[in-house]
Chain A
Amino acid sequence: MDPIVYGQTLISGLFLGGIYALIAMGLTLMYGVMGIVNFAHGEFLTLGWYICFWAFTLDGIDPYIALPLAAVLMFVVGLAIQAVVIQPVLKAPFLNQILLTLGLSTAIVGAAQFFWGAQPRTILVSYARAGMMIGGVVVSYPRLVAFIVSVVVAVLLYLFLNRTKTGKAIRACAQSRPGARLMGIDVQRMFMLTTGIGASLTGIAGALLGPTYPFMPTTGGNFGFTAFVIVVLGSMGDFIGAFVASIIIGLAEAFGGLWLGDDVKQVVSMGIFVLVLLFRPQGLFGRKT
């Protein structure tokens, strides 16, 4: 096969990886800080995408202009969900927590079907196919922007978690809840913030997918599925691990799709999932327990 195809696949792999990173970082953050596996995380992405869809079809707002709007709206949605449904089950058995987020994801898929129909939708922007040629490989602008923005967001979030007082407080909650409370950290507030950030990241991802990716109410679930594999591969709760694993999985799916067909690219992720569970269940960066 000629190198141009490989180059093209590399580009779509990086694009996918960037989007996955935005989703998986929030998921892994929520797990690390609260111990909650949010099965509705893919559905948060669905909401983010449809916010941009509505902004575009109702008001003609470009997805890139809608990006901050989606981020802020999803932040608020995250706060609301945290306060109303997640906070009350934080001390409940794991099964109850998981069934709750499963119920949440079901309700969101249903709501998306109700408002936007079950058929695939696209945001028809004029520049969807715009791009530049580099050595025969088409680099589409929306994909390039998506990758750059996701890397920038990841770096900003990393700096936030490591350099600011609030970020450090969030990480303290992840390390020890009672310890953090003894240090005078408002743990509840940090939890709110964590879910808000996680949801907000999916809002950004939704806006970045907007110009190029057709969406239906169950599409978010597919991204959510891949995000599960990523957080396990990158060691659950590990922020940098999630980013690295996202790029790995993005590339693996892109090349897998090239060889196996695009419909079955998730089989590659599943294969990786099985291998990780078999040989490195603590993930790439986890220490053996």
Chain B
Amino acid sequence: MTTSTRADFPKLDASPAPRLKAFLRDWDSVEMVASLLIVGLFGLSPLVIKVPYYLNMIILTALFAYFGLAWNIIGGISGQLLIGFASFVGVGGFVTMVLLIRFSVSPWIGLPISAASSCLLGAFVAFLTLRYGLKVDYLALFSLALMMILKIIAQELDITGRASGMFLSFQKDSLINMTFVGKVPYLYIATGMLLLGVVIQYVTCRSKTGRYLVAIREDEDAAAALGVDTARYKTIALLLGSAMGGLGGGFYAIFSTYLDPALIFGLAFNVSLLIAPIIGGKGTLIGPILGAILNKPLSEWIGGTVSAQRPGVTLVVYGVILMVFILFLPNGIAGLLRVPHERLRVRLRSTERLRNN
């Protein structure tokens, strides 16, 4: 027997214990609260952690969790075959960097422009590949091809620094230029972006659009038969995710002070964007955050020890992790956590029914 999700919302007149039960029954809100707690911990971490190396790790974790959330809206929640996500991140990065370095435009203005540019690119991709009746595989093929072409274009243009890429050099703190000598300000910005991502994803998920997106993921033909304009909702998801990717890309470029077309539009970076939501659980709210937390120490360890001796190890490990998770744990860690919760949910419901009778 299934109950509609709406009935799971906590009732206001309930006493605290049933309210807690109702809350626990609605797994989305549990994941949301847990996500917010993690974001809070990220935000408070500079109080305890002072070592730049660890702060750097936390910033990157927050940032890749944010990228994971952005991809999750497209790939996880609406199940679209967007596998070349680095295109949007890279374009965002180049827009902010070009504006700052060539035209002295502050990243505070550059980042929204980055988001808009990537969104525009997303609109182009959606226009070409998401029309009704096209093979779904076209998005996968096109998004990956796009990455390759953007790399070639960035390597050919003077304004993007050709093959050597772009460097951002600075001596002192500047709030306008978003350049800081210490790590802490970056951490606050990254955490703020992650918070934004968590909220956007949650709101999207709980909205009518989110429900449609899940319906499209589960069975596109059935959703279309029920009157859902599938192309339109898929486009909305793609635009939202690509805009978020562009914003994050802009910040990533400023933070790493360096942008190499071969890296940002490369296979390894693209996979590192996808790995967090896949380990953590694509299609779940908290998955990308869990995945990023698990992945960061791992990739640091590989980068620091194994990969230093021989190239390619990082790629092998990423590739194998990707395959192993898809084969054995396609819903990731968060999917695993859902299992005991389902059990709890069933038990709660049965005890309630007993009491009511």
State the A residues within 8 Å of B (CB). 31, 37, 39, 85, 88-89, 92-96, 98-100, 102-115, 117-118, 217-218, 221-222, 225, 228-229, 232, 236, 263-264, 266-267, 270, 273-274, 277-278, 281, 289
Contacts and interface: CB of A to CB of B under 8 A. Distances in A.
B41 interface: no
Nearest to B84: A102
Interface stretch (B62-70, B126-134, B172-180, B235-243): B126-134
Contacts, number: 144
Contact of B314 (A85, A110, A218): A110
Interface residues of B, number: 50
Of B75, B141, B152, the most chain A CB neighbours within 10 A belong to B141
Nearest to A269: B145
Given A102-B322, A106-B271, 16 more contacts: A37-B141, A94-B136, A99-B322, A99-B326, A100-B322, A100-B326, A103-B271, A110-B318, A110-B319, A111-B312, A221-B148, A236-B137, A263-B152, A263-B155, A267-B153, A270-B149
B152 A96 contact: no
B355 interface: no
A94 B219 CA distance: 11
B contact face: mostly helix, strand, loop, or mixed: helix
Of B133, B142, B314, the most chain A CB neighbours within 10 A belong to B142
Leading 6 A-B pairs by shortest Cβ distance: A110-B315, A107-B319, A113-B312, A103-B322, A106-B319, A110-B316
29 contacts: A37-B140, A37-B141, A39-B83, A85-B323, A92-B330, A94-B136, A94-B137, A98-B83, A100-B323, A103-B326, A104-B319, A105-B267, A106-B267, A106-B268, A107-B318, A107-B319, A109-B312, A110-B313, A110-B314, A110-B319, A112-B312, A113-B311, A114-B311, A221-B267, A228-B141, A228-B144, A267-B149, A267-B153, A270-B149
Contacts of A289: 133
A106 B318 contact: yes
Contacts of A104: 319, 323
A263 B128 CA distance: 25
B327 A88 contact: yes
A232 B312 contact: no
B213 to A, nearest CB: 13
A contact face: mostly helix, strand, loop, or mixed: helix
Contacts of B310: 114
B223 interface: no
Of B129, B152, B314, the most chain A CB neighbours within 10 A belong to B152
Contacts of A277: 128-129, 134, 138, 142
A110 B149 CA distance: 22
Interface string B312-344: 111111111111001100100000000000000
A217 to B, nearest CB: 7
Interface in B125-170: 128-129, 131, 133-138, 140-142, 144-146, 148-149, 152-153, 155-156
B145 A228 contact: yes
B267 to A, nearest CB: 6
A37 B140 CA distance: 9
B313 A37 contact: no
Contacts of A92: 326, 330
B310 to A, nearest CB: 6
B55 interface: no
B311 A99 contact: no
Contacts of A267: 149, 152-153
B134 A225 contact: no
A222 to B, nearest CB: 7
